[in-house]
Amino acid sequence: MSAFLDALFFQAGYNAALVAVGAALLGFAAGAGGSFLFLRNRALVSDAVAHATLPGVGLAFIVMVALGGDGRALIGLLAGSAISAWIGLLAVEWMVRRTRLSEDAAIGAVLSTFFGLGVVLLTVIQGMSRGRQAGLEDFLLGSTAGMLLQDALLIAGGGLLVVTAIWLLRRPMTLVAFDPAFAAARGVDVRRIDLAMMAVVLAVTVVGLKLVGLILIVALLIIPPVTARFWADRAERVVWIAGVIGGLSGWVGAALSATAPALPTGPIIVLVATGLFVVSLLFSPTRGVTAAMIARRAFQTRVHRRQGLLALARNEPIHDRLTLRILRAEGLLRGDGVATEDGQAACARIARDERRWSVARRLHKDTALTGRYDGLTPIDDVFTADEITWIDTHMLAGGSA
Amino acid sequence: MADLTLLQSAEPLDPASPLAVRGLTVSYGEKPALFSLDATFPVGAMSAIVGPNGAGKSTFLKAVLGLIPRVSGDVSAFGRDVDRVRDRIAYVPQRASVDWDFPTTALDVVLMGLYGQVGLWRRITGAHKTHARACLDRVGMADFADRQIGQLSGGQQQRVFLARALAQDADLFLLDEPFAGVDAATEAAIIEVLKSLKAEGRSVIAVHHDLSTVADYFDHVMLVNLRRIAEGPVQTTFTAETLAEAYGGRLGAVQIDALSLQGA
């Protein structure tokens, strides 16, 4: 526990502190950066981007070795990965625009082709006599071993760039994600904004390759926005909350993995993010599973109470067990099935409500109001007091006629 | 080639018209959806675009706005290229085109209409929000400003879309089936707003599917079915003959009789 707290507050050594800061920054950039693709219902594009980086890593290594280096310059490897990911993206975009393929099929095709090519290249590289191949496979699952200050600076710089781009483009991106037809009619270049969303994701992927690897970076791009959606009903908030969730996952995950030598950082970060997702899924007050269950139960109770009271008012027997239980629990019905005093009052109220509704639906002109009758909504919620007085006059007139 | 030169040298499109097109052809694949269509809509009027399903009504609006590519044809709005007057044109797409679970409030949607004024950099100020609320109020939705868009009924969503167009303070309003799937109260509220726009001298062009209300709501009508069948003032253009030509056998004699048109 104390090892965890040390790591959490950067007391676990220089390398661990670098990793924690780097992971938090990367998590923030990834969470915010993945949000717009998620809001555009295109989250899987980031999967294609990530897998399409691999051949670039391999090719960059081979080119650098051919030029006489040892092939390990990080900046060269990342540039290579960015170029091949961009080609992959354009391939997806081109296929969707020029053929009848749907986007998910295009993503599947590009993702597997590029990943396959990358694995072939890595195998070829393992057999090469020159260059220092060891560690290239870290790009698959990430590695924090030997994280340098310059790596952390790269993540910080790249992350800052990504966040700035998101902030600058938040309005057109929101517009395009919500209503592309309207955006285009306003003169927004929808294709270019789409490419910008993908470029943001690409930048995050490239920057995060070394730390979490190309397979798991996808999780950091998708899970935080999905989680944030449970807590926000406005696009911009989703973006920044996703950033915070991503950053928190990175920080806590890095600290957790620093507590034991054998815990891999990238996967732990993803598991922390998943934990936050599961908590949100269960307990979000507006969209969570628990809230939905409670709301459903409350609704069910209202329906059964109303049905039961209506049956009592008409002297009909109640057979439904749940109805009986609810009426008894609320003190409206005695054990022997006779209404209590409260129950009788409630019956009278509800019977009057029904009579008022039936008059209103027959006589009131505004169909928008009378259309709100659903058997459950009290008439006082729909009509004003003077209108109800008007309804009551007609009710009496109707009763005497 | 000689024919083409002749076409291109034709007179310029009416610069007074909020929207004029000539020779507009739009195609999905190799099947034209609109073929060589001419139209000149009058300024300060309410115009309807009427025709059977799949006749190219929505396609017309989209092609005019450049949302789908044109194969041929000229389009002019207020005598200029559409790209140069986008701020003066407000578009209300079909409701179905939107993801209703999108995290946005009614007020945020209306603020999107201010995109042209606010731009990329400036902050959204209190004045912008006041203006957006006034637009919501104009369509009777002021009390729903902070509701998530997915919680609104179909009619309420359509009103919010109209408020977004109002926020833009445009001179030409293009609406794609504004009354599709809305309740009677919403239809009345929308038509009220459109009439007030007309009274302010603005032009409204709506794709419309309910033949029984064309004569009540609109001044000018264009009947379309791949080609332009007829265009002009409703009284003289919206006749049994033109309807029969636009709809073919789909519209029975009984239905046309029910519209009690002149010349029927």
Domain residue spans in chain A? 2-262, 290-400
Q: Quick one: closest CA in B to A170, which residue? A: B120
User: Band of the pLDDT at B160, cuts 50, 70, 90?
Assistant: very high
Angle between helices A149-178 and A14-39 (to 10 degrees): 10
pLDDT over 90, % of chain B: 63
Max intra-chain CA distance, chain A: 106
> Is the sign of the CA dihedral B194, B195, B201, B206 positive or negative?
positive
Domain range holding B144?
Answer: 18-235
Of A10-14, A250-254, B176-180, B223-227, the least confident: A10-14
Q: What is the pLDDT along chain A (401 residues), one digit of tens a residue?
A: 777 888 788 777 888 888 889 999 999 999 999 999 999 999 999 999 999 999 999 999 999 998 988 878 888 999 999 999 999 999 999 998 888 899 999 999 999 999 999 999 999 998 887 777 777 888 888 887 667 788 888 888 999 999 999 999 999 999 999 999 999 999 899 999 999 999 999 999 999 988 889 989 999 999 999 999 999 999 999 999 999 999 999 999 999 988 877 788 889 999 999 999 999 999 999 889 999 999 999 999 999 999 999 888 888 888 888 999 999 998 888 888 788 888 889 999 999 998 898 888 888 877 767 777 888 888 888 888 888 888 888 887 765 44
- At B8 the pLDDT is 52
> The tokens of A150 are what?
């310059």
Most A CBs within 10 Å, among B60, B89, B99, B107, to test the A interface: B99
User: Band of the pLDDT at B262, cuts 50, 70, 90?
Assistant: low
Using a CB-CB distance cutoff of 8 angstroms, which residues of chain A are in contact with residue B104? Answer: 174, 178, 233-235
φ, ψ for residue B138 (rounded to 5)? -65, -30
- State the distance between the two ends of chain A, measured CA to CA, in whole angstroms: 81
Q: Can you tell me the distance from the alpha carbon of A19 to that of A110, in angstroms, rounded to the nearest whole number? A: 32
Residue A23 CB neighbours (<10 A): 34
Residue B96 or A124, more confident: A124
Q: Which helix (H) or strand (E) holds A231?
A: none
- At B10 the pLDDT is 61
- Quick check: B254 pLDDT over 70? no
Of A154-158, B57-61, B180-184, B187-191, the least confident: B180-184
- At A283 the pLDDT is 95
How is domain A2-262 classified at the CATH fold level?
ABC transporter involved in vitamin B12 uptake, BtuC (1.10.3470)
- At A294 the pLDDT is 94
Give A225: exposed, middle or buried? Use CB within 10 Å, 0-12, 13-18, 19+.
Answer: buried
Of A172, A229, A233, the CB nearest to B105: A233
Residue B225 located in a structural domain: yes
Distance from CA of B115 to the nearest CA of A (A): 8
Q: What's B173's domain CATH number? A: 3.40.50.300
- Quick check: B47 pLDDT over 90? yes
- At A388 the pLDDT is 86
Residue A7 or B68, more confident: B68
Residue A239 CB neighbours (<10 A): 28
Distance from CA of B166 to the nearest CA of A (A): 14
- At A202 the pLDDT is 95
- At A264 the pLDDT is 85
> The tokens of B189 are what?
């509220």
User: Band of the pLDDT at B5, cuts 50, 70, 90?
Assistant: very low
Residue B133 located in a structural domain: yes
Using a CB-CB distance cutoff of 8 angstroms, which residues of chain B are in contact with residue A41? Answer: 99
- Quick check: B264 pLDDT over 50? no
A179/B98 CB distance under 8 A: yes
Q: Can you tell me the distance from the alpha carbon of A258 to that of A248, in angstroms, rounded to the nearest whole number? A: 15
- Quick check: B1 pLDDT over 50? no
Q: How many domains does chain B have?
A: 1
Q: Can you tell me the distance from the alpha carbon of A33 to that of A50, in angstroms, rounded to the nearest whole number? A: 14
Using a CB-CB distance cutoff of 8 angstroms, which residues of chain A are in contact with residue B112? Answer: 174-175, 178-179, 182
A235/B62 CB distance under 8 A: no
Write down the number of H helices and E strands in chain A: 17, 0
A172/B183 CB distance under 8 A: no
Q: Hey, which residues does B230 pair with through a beta bridge?
A: B223
Measured between CB atoms, does A234 come within 8 Å of chain B?
A: yes
- At B2 the pLDDT is 45
> The tokens of A245 are what?
């969730």
